[in-house]
Chain A
Amino acid sequence: MSGAERIEPLKMSSVVELESVNVRYAKNWALRDVTTAFPAGAVGLLGPNGAGKSTLIKSVLGLVAPDRGHMRVLGLDVRHAPLQIRSRVGYMPESDAHFPQMNAVSFVAYCGELCGLPRADAMQRAHEVLYYVGLGEARYRTIDQYSTGMKQRIKLAQALVHDPDLLFLDEPTNGMDPKGRDEMLELIRDIAHNKGLNLILSSHLLPDVEFACDHVVVMDKGAIATSGPIAGLKGPGGRVFEMRIKGDADRFVGVLRSAGLDCHATDEDVMRVFVPDDRGAPFLFKLASQERVQVRHLRASVPTLEDVFAKAVGEE
């Protein structure tokens, strides 16, 4: 094909850059002055429902026009080259989406063709990708007959078929059973770490992001709360303790905080205590003894993304 072009593999530090991006739906601001950069590799976009994650993804895809700000994806300006960007990225939407009256292999091949693959290549890639996501045996069934988990997989397949440089996954484990969710996360991790694709995983589920990603951008109320490598944000291990006490928990939390420790309650009466130096467990026992509360459970734990998230969005 004379007009065909070949795209070289991508090597750059930031795959997505946003600068003072504001997006408004009617009177509601969905994104407020968002400035951040998504490094290459697997990046989690984390935040509670309504934080603006999907809007951010739709903005960088050019589906939503920002009121203000500049965005660059793969080095291309979103405002000036949206089609070039969309031909190099894959998008897995949050909600169910497919083309009606098609079986899986036709659907995925059609998506490949829409992204610029020649017809024969698109069909071959469709078969390969469907096997990869675990739908090889079901590829001739119409998508209307698929279960929720299978629909999630086919959405991943359509996003992968044209071999994008960057993959946007919007809540990819929504509605999946535990086994299917684990398999989906394994797939995502494999894509990011073994296949050399950059991906941005939008999720409100901390374990999903922690399992599949190396970096995280935390959003809350339309703004960036924090961002960085997950390991860096969690900090060195051994500083966080899970603690359960018998006694006046509220008063003890106050004592811990007055002693310079960061402390917040989690589910089931367990509090997570950040000890910022090497005083460790003996110091906690000493405080408990002074306050005459009984320590029923104390376990040193590695800080999790949950801690980072809670800290970033200011949760207790």
Chain B
Amino acid sequence: MPIHDQGYRRYEGKRLPVGRAWWIVARMHLITAFKRRWFLMVLFAGWIQFFVSALLIVAPVLFPQLSGFTSTTPQTFRDFLNRQQFFVFIITIVLGGLIADDRRANALQLYLSKPLTRVEYILGKAAPLLILILGVTLVPAVCLLLLQIVFSGSLSFLANNLFVLPAITLASLARALLSTFMILALSSLSKSRRFVAIMYAGLIFFTSSMHQVLRQITGSRAWAAISPGNMVEVFTDGVFRIRVPQPVPMYVAVLVIVGLIAVSLWVLERRIRPVEIVA
């Protein structure tokens, strides 16, 4: 006989109110992601550029003779975010199986038989992606801005470029939201995380290549509108007020980004169902 009761006992403790399950889902995925050592290294690598950029901000303050070589402008932050796109892509690919894995293991009906709405489920899946992507875009970019303010010893840069902080926020959010909802939509269409990763990479690279091909054939730069990556760059240039000729107006970039997010949400709404009905 066991020395402790191994029978079923009624639960006498407290229960938390419904509506918090999305965070439990998100936290579980974050913990699972952080358990992978190689993924932690990717995240760390995502911050290397921050340290390099920070050095370029700090160095002229510590060594005035270098001040002619480096200077901080709004373009510094735009370039920083554009270069971080690689890590956004890696994080998105790595977490691409969030819904596909559930579909493979038939977990959707388990999730949705708990006190959890479909919106909470999607939020629970989107939150880890958003947190990690913003963790390599928004957070280091804001840290760079703070470093700039601290080491310059004045608020003159911020005062002269009041749009920088909102621009960093908007450009980071555009990247995070677009990547998150596109990969989740693709993830809901498959039961294989590898296939999802291939589809996403294909979507990004194929549209970019198609844009180049069509541009060569027609001579029109407007074909950039078919490439999500190009539209994010146009949007970023717009919010950072970079005055360079753009392939399409800013509003087209906004429409494409918002449209892609809307289509992704529509796909998720159609695919995240506890019961799959085949007509």
Contacts and interface: CB of A to CB of B under 8 A. Distances in A.
A114 to B, nearest CB: 4
B16 A3 contact: yes
Nearest to B110: A97
A145 B51 CA distance: 44
A61 B114 CA distance: 9
A48 interface: no
A66 to B, nearest CB: 13
B104 interface: yes
Contacts of A140: none
Interface stretch (B4-12, B78-86, B250-258): B4-12
Contacts of A136: 6
A121 B110 contact: no
Interface in B99-114: 101-102, 104-107, 109-114
B15 interface: yes
B16 A1 contact: yes
Interface stretch (A84-92, A207-215, A301-309): A84-92
A8 to B, nearest CB: 11
Interface stretch (A156-164, A226-234, A277-285): A156-164
Contacts of A6: 14-15
A100 B278 CA distance: 25
Interface string A108-129: 0011011111100100010011
Nearest to B5: A128
A87 B115 contact: yes
Interface string A1-41: 10111110100000000000000011100000000000000
B113 A93 contact: yes
B114 A86 contact: yes
A205 to B, nearest CB: 22
Contacts of B244: none
Contact of A129 (B8, B16, B21, B114): B8
B275 interface: yes
Interface residues of B, number: 38
Given A26-B277, A116-B18, A117-B13, A100 B115 contact: no
Contacts of A195: 8, 10
Interface in B7-66: 7-11, 13-19, 21, 24-25, 28, 32
B105 A99 contact: yes
A131 B14 contact: no
Contact of A114 (B109, B115, B277, B278): B115
Nearest to A144: B105
Contacts of B116: 83, 86, 114
Residue among B15, B21, B104, B117 with the most chain A CB within 10 A?
Answer: B15
Given A5-B14, A64-B275, A114 B114 contact: yes
Contacts of A7: 15
Contacts of A146: none
B11 A162 contact: yes
A58 interface: yes
A65 to B, nearest CB: 10
Given A86-B114, A100-B102, 13 more contacts: A4-B14, A4-B17, A58-B275, A63-B112, A63-B275, A86-B116, A87-B15, A101-B101, A114-B25, A114-B115, A117-B15, A117-B16, A132-B7
Interface of A: 1, 3-7, 9, 25-27, 58, 61, 63-64, 83-84, 86-87, 91, 93, 95-101, 110-111, 113-118, 121, 125, 128-129, 131-132, 136, 158, 160, 162-163, 190-191, 195-196
18 contacts: A4-B14, A27-B279, A58-B275, A61-B113, A63-B275, A83-B117, A84-B18, A86-B113, A87-B15, A93-B110, A97-B107, A99-B102, A99-B105, A110-B24, A114-B111, A117-B15, A125-B11, A132-B6
Interface of B: 6-11, 13-19, 21, 24-25, 28, 32, 101-102, 104-107, 109-117, 274-275, 277-279
